[in-house]
Amino acid sequence: MKITFITPPSINGTKPAERTAGCTRVVYSMPNIYELTVAAVFEQEGYEVNCIDFILNNKTDADLNDFLSTDASDCYCFWSVNLSMDADLHALEQIRKFHPTANVLFMGPAPTYYTKNYLLDEHIIVLRGEPEISAKELLACLEKNTDFTTIKGISFLFKGKITHNPSRALLKNLDELPFPARHFIEQFHFSNPKLKDSPYTTMVTSRNCPFQCIYCVPSSLTFAREIEYKKENSKKPPISFRSVENIAEELELLYRQGYKSIGFMDDNFIVTTKRLREIGKSLKQYNFSWGCQARADAIDDEIAEILSDTGCQYVDLGVESFNDDILKYIKKGITSEQIFEAINSLKKYKVPVKLNILIGTSPLETVESIKDTLHIAKKLKVSQVMFNIVAPFPGTEFYDIAKKNNWIVGGDYVPTDVQRNSILNFPNLTSKQMERLLFWNNISFFVRPSFILFHVNKFRSFEDFKIALKALKIKLFG
């Protein structure tokens, strides 16, 4: 049985969707390890698997059409996010021109939430939430042409009626999963502007986060997992962890494959001092430069010292605001004082700090509070600041609040690039004001001579410098 994963070209001149984080357009390319993990599961089962990324290959809609006209896959798979929905459904139309009865599998947050949008014929199946085990069971049935209608975690169309099977229990042991099938992307050069060594890849050691931020969509897999779990449990799902031994095994493999730097995509990488110390031993052993996402309340001097000693080149802190009333409203669970303490600890041990700031997370936000946030961010003299505008993602508590209060422009969510656009109007802050403030904040922070001089000398190659420069241009001007 031949299975092909497709990342189709973008359509209508839009920038392609970034499918790992899942809520922005591509600024710099990164491996979609969630899709590559499913591909690895299929390879482990003995299927013939191919992954074709028309974005990374700089291919067009016409190229996709040419490929499909001669391809003979039995099944096509898509990892789909909100911003890629139109492109993925357009690719489905092209598949149907040449392969009207081929099975098509959709997975990811968009089909998990917008399931009916994808179920356009009876040869399409949506894998909701965590897809790996459902996908493995489904392929076994499709290969043998046996009944698949009792498999948990899937939705399908039968005689014109949509069937949503019960949710599948979450994976308890992530060590059961194979490592992502990175060999499908080994011909591409990946570089992260925050990590000056390349080649670069991404990695994940856990799934989900226990905290209750009302707006949060940390990654595309987490979002799919949360949407699915919340439907039956009305709360966030529990965290799943890989063992330290399993993580060390993958790190050794990445070292042998020639990778120099790693971006950890965990919603919350720093959980305990003991776990960080043990993972750090492997990172230091193979001399990786690496970075992660963490909460401010997880950082103290001991943690910062471990990060520094093991080659950490950035910590992404989800700050959102320095206003304590706003932090309380969005249920961030931290205070501005904790943010400042975390930054001081990281700077003390020379660990570069990146702050993630969200404009418009609360109706308490004003033009003045946003300007104050920028002022404080500059004074802190951190390595980088990422400004985005909050979006009312369906499935989040913030969506329910915004919908109830009629804050959403047009009445309901539409896929929106949080790095550029707002679909919210608050009583004291309009969408246009937020967009203008976002642009000004980016220009004011990133075009400062001190910022440019600080970063330009850190690149190991001119190629990586060009990638960073391109990413900055996209960030500022689209």
Residue 471, domain CATH: 3.80.30.20
Same domain membership, residue 115 and residue 203: no
Sign of the torsion formed by the C-alpha atoms of 24, 30, 178 and 172? negative
Contact by Cβ (8 Å): 81, 19: yes
- Return all residues near 436 (Cβ < 8 A) that are at least 6 apart: none
- Return all residues near 404 (Cβ < 8 A) that are at least 6 apart: none
Same domain membership, residue 194 and residue 114: no
pLDDT attached to residue 448: 62
Same domain membership, residue 297 and residue 390: yes
pLDDT attached to residue 443: 82
Residue 292 has a CB neighbour count (10 Å cut-off) of 22
The label of the residue with tokens 């947050």 reads: 109
Same domain membership, residue 360 and residue 389: yes
Interatomic CA distance for residues 77 and 239, integer angstroms = 27
Whether the bond between 199 and the residue before it is cis, its omega within 30 degrees of 0, is yes
Residue 175 lies in a domain: no
Tell me which residue range forms the domain holding 207: 183-477
DSSP H or E stretch at residue 180 = none
Domain boundary among 164, 194, 212: 164
Residue 172 lies in a domain: no
User: Which letter does DSSP use for residue 195 in this model?
Assistant: B
pLDDT attached to residue 34: 98
Output the CA angle 101-104-106, nearest 5 degrees: 160
| Rounded (10°) angle between helices 367-380 and 431-446 | 20
Same domain membership, residue 315 and residue 425: yes
Tokens describing residue 85: 């929905």
Interatomic CA distance for residues 402 and 460, integer angstroms = 45
Same domain membership, residue 339 and residue 293: yes
Same domain membership, residue 217 and residue 95: no
Output the CA angle 81-391-399, nearest 5 degrees: 95
Residue 288 lies in a domain: yes
- CA-CA distances (angstroms) from residue 64 to 111, 320, 345, 346? 22, 40, 50, 47
Same domain membership, residue 191 and residue 158: no
pLDDT attached to residue 27: 82
pLDDT attached to residue 13: 85
Same domain membership, residue 266 and residue 143: no
pLDDT by position in tens, the chain (length 478): 999 999 999 998 889 999 998 888 888 899 999 999 999 999 999 999 999 999 999 999 999 999 999 999 999 999 999 999 999 999 999 999 999 999 999 999 999 999 999 999 999 999 999 999 999 999 999 999 999 999 999 999 999 999 999 999 999 899 999 999 999 999 998 988 888 788 999 999 999 998 999 998 889 999 999 999 999 999 999 999 999 999 999 999 999 999 999 999 999 999 999 999 999 999 999 999 999 999 999 999 999 999 999 999 999 999 999 999 999 999 999 999 999 999 999 999 999 999 999 999 999 999 999 999 989 998 998 988 989 999 999 999 999 999 999 999 999 999 999 988 999 999 999 999 999 999 888 888 766 656 655 555 555 555 555 655 566 555 555 5
The label of the residue with tokens 């191919």 reads: 50
Domain boundary among 129, 164, 199: 164
Residue 116 has a CB neighbour count (10 Å cut-off) of 12
**245-278 b/e (C-beta count within 10 Å ≥ 16 → b):** ebbbebbeebbeeebbbbbbbbbbbbbeeebbee
Residue 466 lies in a domain: yes
Interatomic CA distance for residues 107 and 276, integer angstroms = 31
Listed residue (354, 317, 352) closest to 332, CA to CA: 317
Residue 354 lies in a domain: yes
Residue 332 lies in a domain: yes
Sign of the torsion formed by the C-alpha atoms of 199, 244, 264 and 459? negative
Q: Residue 219 in 3-state DSSP?
A: coil
Phi and psi torsions of 316, nearest 5°: -85, 110
Interatomic CA distance for residues 273 and 323, integer angstroms = 28
Residue 177 lies in a domain: no
Listed residue (115, 138, 140) closest to 126, CA to CA: 115
Residue 170 lies in a domain: no
Q: How many structural domains are present in the chain?
A: 2
Domain boundary among 136, 164, 192: 164
pLDDT attached to residue 452: 55
pLDDT attached to residue 462: 56
Same domain membership, residue 269 and residue 363: yes
Interatomic CA distance for residues 443 and 437, integer angstroms = 10
User: Which letter does DSSP use for residue 47 in this model?
Assistant: -
Listed residue (389, 390, 386, 391) closest to 442, CA to CA: 386
| Rounded (10°) angle between helices 431-446 and 462-477 | 150
Same domain membership, residue 200 and residue 142: no
Contact by Cβ (8 Å): 66, 211: no
Same domain membership, residue 196 and residue 139: no
pTM of whole model > 0.85?
yes
Tokens describing residue 239: 């965290």
